[in-house]
């Protein structure tokens, strides 16, 4: 079993792209059910959602507001999971409910180094 990072990217900034409180409630349920399903398979390692504010620091101490490179690609949250191979990791990540939204994406990366080699 290796550990994989699942990065969830979506537009969390543009006002018009944000869900209503009712929609948000539905999305949160879908999200928790998805993570709960991974945890029920004993494949959840850790991770969490992130707040929308943030700072980006660049060389020469240039600090800008915003947790994003491109607006549409801000990181909304991340979790780490256990999977036997990349295929399984991708299949678990592929169920992520944010993929129901146009323009959103989920990135899967294998965690290397440390005891996971």
Partner 1 sequence: MDDTQLIPHLFRTEYRKIVSVLCKYFGLGGIENAEDIASETFLTAAQSWGLNGIPPNPTAWLYSVAKNKAKNYLQRHDLFREKITPALQSGISPMRPGEVDLSPHNIIDSQLQMMFAICHPSISGEAQIGLSLRILCGFGIEEIADAFLTNKETINKRLFRAKEQLREGKIKIELPGPLEIESRLSPVLTTIYLLFNEGYYSISRDKPLHKDLCLEAMRLCTMLIENKQTNQPQVNALLSLMCFHASRFDARLDDNDRIILYEEQDTSLWNTDLISKGGYFLRCAAAGDKLSKYHLEAGIAYWNTQRADTKEKWENILQFYNRLLQIEYSPIAALNRTYALSKANGKQEAILAAEKLELTDNHFYFALLGELYTSIDNAKARINFQKAYSLAKTQADKQAIQKKLDKL
Contact status: 42 vs partner 1 (CB under 8 A): yes
Look at the block and give the residue holding tokens 């915003």.
Answer: 66
| Distance in angstroms (rounded) separating the CA atoms of residues 1 and 86 | 10
Give the shortest CB-51-to-partner 1 separation in angstroms: 16
Nearest to residue 46, comparing CAs of 4, 84, 18, 85? 4
CB of 41 vs partner 1, minimal distance in Å:
6
**Binders of partner 1 among 3-22, rule CB under 8 A?**
none
Q: What is the DSSP string of 50-76?
A: --S--EEEETTTEEEESS-SSGGG-EE
**Residue 22 is inside which H or E element, if any?**
helix 21-40
Site for partner 1 in 58-97 (CB under 8 A): none
Task: Kindly tell me which residue out of 7, 13, 39, 98 binds partner 1, with binding defined by CB under 8 A.
Answer: 39
Min separation Cβ 25 and partner 1, Å: 11
Partnered with residue 109 across adjacent β-strands are: 5
CB nearer to partner 1: give 13 or 45.
Answer: 45
Footprint of partner 1 (CB under 8 A): 29, 32-33, 35-37, 39-42, 44
């Amino acid at each position: 079993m290796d550990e994989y990072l699942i990065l969830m990217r979506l537009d969390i900034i543009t006002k018009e792209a944000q869900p209503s409180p009712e929609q948000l409630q539905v999305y949160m349920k879908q999200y928790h059910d998805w993570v709960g399903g991974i945890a029920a398979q004993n494949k959840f390692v850790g991770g969490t959602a992130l707040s929308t504010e943030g700072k980006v620091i660049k060389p020469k101490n240039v600090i800008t507001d915003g947790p994003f490179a491109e607006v549409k690609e801000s990181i909304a949250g991340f979790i780490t999971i256990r999977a036997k191979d990349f295929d399984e990791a991708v299949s678990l990540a592929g169920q992520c409910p944010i993929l129901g939204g146009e323009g959103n994406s989920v990135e899967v990366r294998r965690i290397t180094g440390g005891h996971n080699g």
